[in-house]
Amino acid sequence: MLKRLIEAQAGRLTSMELRAVLDLATTDIRVNRVSFGRRTSLADAVGIAEICCTVLRR
């Protein structure tokens, strides 16, 4: 489900790209949201993953 949501925003991903994107997004959420006590919705998580995908592809 999450893969489909991310691919709808960022384009096709290989399994290695997806793993890297999810790892980057998870780290970003932990550092920038959880540590400040903020909750992350599914839409926020997909948006963060889309940004991570863009950064990874550069």
Task: State pLDDT tens for residues 28-51.
Answer: 999 999 989 999 999 999 999 999
Q: Supply the pTM of this predicted model.
A: 0.87
Task: Give me the pLDDT at residue 49, please.
Answer: 94
Task: Give me the pLDDT at residue 51, please.
Answer: 94
CA distance 53 to 34: 21
CA distance 12 to 18: 9
Task: State pLDDT tens for residues 2-29.
Answer: 899 998 988 899 999 999 999 999 999 9
Domain ranges of the chain: 2-57
CA distance 20 to 37: 25
Task: Give me the pLDDT at residue 21, please.
Answer: 95
Task: Give me the pLDDT at residue 1, please.
Answer: 85
